[in-house]
Amino acid sequence: MKLTNDKKILTVGLGLIGGSYAETLTKKGFAVTAIDSRREAIDYALKKGIIADGADVPDRDLIKNADIIVFALYPHIFLDWVKNYGSLIAAGTVATDVTGVKCSVVYEVQRMLPDGVEFIASHPMAGREVYGVENSTPSIFEGANFVVTPTDKNTEDAISLCEDLGKTLGFARVSRLSPEMHDDMIGFLSQLTHCIAVALMTSCDAPDTELYTGDSFRDLTRIARINEDMWTELFMLNKEPLMRHIDLFTAELTKLRNALAENDCETMKQMMRVSTARRARFDKPKNN
């Protein structure tokens, strides 16, 4: 299957990410439909022209008629949905997702889906500290990374389709990783950083701290405003990689702390030189 805009795309879950997919793809000329249990999300998206059709129940026709299905749900709701309604998906359909962890969902979903339905997992690495289709915007994908995580069950055809989806959505970089490498990477880049932001805020109990803050603290804690249900679930589903990265980070911070305690300026400076050199690689690429 090629990602031409005669393809009918169904998003299951119309929150911030599902809504931003729908809005972007509708603007690109695709016929986009949506299923979300929240009636107001569907009504809002219909009114705003973000979707062409939608339902607040797992509507058989919407599911059967989709060429491509994007699951944009919490992991456990995603797994439940596939278990309960996966059989409604027609053979020939390609499904993908937006889930932030992979090993704990990809293999299970591929096992549960009916024959002829290919699930190719992906992770759009974008987000905001607000929720719902009401906050959706294509701009959250600008400059961001999109990772496709194939398994040996996937065909090159579906992998390419999913990569094209990432490009069509406006992501700056589209990459492939195994589910295992993805989860290790995300444990470091995303989950560890959220843990750090939370621990920074909970260790801050002085009053009026906000009167004295600079940008660095604001930057480090932007993500400290966190959806506790979603992130606790994501952490639990990626426990081993995340714990390993927390331990590695804590060891480095302790090394810096001990260098300070021992007046070992050279070790501190050496760590800062490594940090400075590595950080240069991370500047946001310009979107093409």
Would you say 52 or 223 has its CB closer to a second copy? 223
Give Rg (Cα) of the chain: 21
Per CB under 8 A, the list member of 120, 147, 161, 237 interacting with a second copy is: 147
Q: 38 or 244: whose CB is closer to a second copy?
A: 244
Which residues from 71-90 bind a second copy, rule CB under 8 A?
none
Closest CB 242 distance from a second copy, rounded Å: 7
Q: Under rule CB under 8 A, how many of the chain's residues touch a second copy?
A: 89
CB of 133 to a second copy, least distance (A): 20
Query: CB–CB of 71/98 below 8 Å?
Result: yes
> Minimum CB separation from a second copy for residue 214, in Å?
4
Query: Cβ closer to a second copy: 38 or 176?
Result: 176
Q: Is 115 or 283 the residue whose CB approaches a second copy more closely? A: 283
Give the one residue of 65, 175, 178, 179 binding a second copy; rule: CB under 8 A.
Answer: 175
Q: Which is nearer to a second copy, 27 or 225 (CB)?
A: 225
| Beta strands 68-71; 122-125: pairing state | unpaired
Question: In 10 A of CB 157, how many CB atoms?
Answer: 13
CA distance 169 to 159: 15
Q: Which of residues 186-245 bind a second copy (CB under 8 A)?
A: 186, 188-190, 192-204, 206, 209-226, 228-229, 231-232, 235-236, 239, 242-243, 245
Rounded alpha-carbon distances, angstroms, from residue 27 to 37, 136, 273: 24, 13, 45
Q: Which is nearer to a second copy, 91 or 211 (CB)?
A: 211
Question: In what side-by-side order are the strands of the sheet with 122-125?
Answer: 122-125, 145-148, 173-176
Q: How far is CA 265 from the centre of its chain?
A: 40
Q: What sign does the CA torsion over 77, 82, 84, 90 have?
A: positive
Stretch that binds a second copy, among 21-29, 33-41, 63-71, 182-190 (CB under 8 A): 182-190
CB nearer to a second copy: give 85 or 217. Answer: 217
Q: Which stretch binds a second copy (CB under 8 A): 15-23, 111-119, 131-139, 142-150?
A: 142-150
Rounded CA separation 43/262 (Å): 62
Structure tokens at 71: 């699951």
Q: How far is the CB of 238 from a second copy (least distance, A)?
A: 10
DSSP output for 52-89: SEEESS--HHHHHH-SEEEE-S-HHHHHHHHHHHGGGS
Residues 269, 272: Cα–Cα separation, whole Å:
5
Site string for a second copy, 94-133 (x = CB under 8 A): -------------------------------xxx------
Q: Which of 168, 169, 105 is nearest to 136 (CA)?
A: 169
Residue 103 tokens, joined: 């090993």
Least distance in angstroms from the C-beta of 213 to a second copy? 5
Residues 245-284 that bind a second copy (CB under 8 A): 245-257, 260-261, 263, 265, 268-269, 271-276, 278-284
Residue 171 has phi, psi (to 5 degrees) of -65, 150
C-beta closer to a second copy: residue 57 or 200: 200
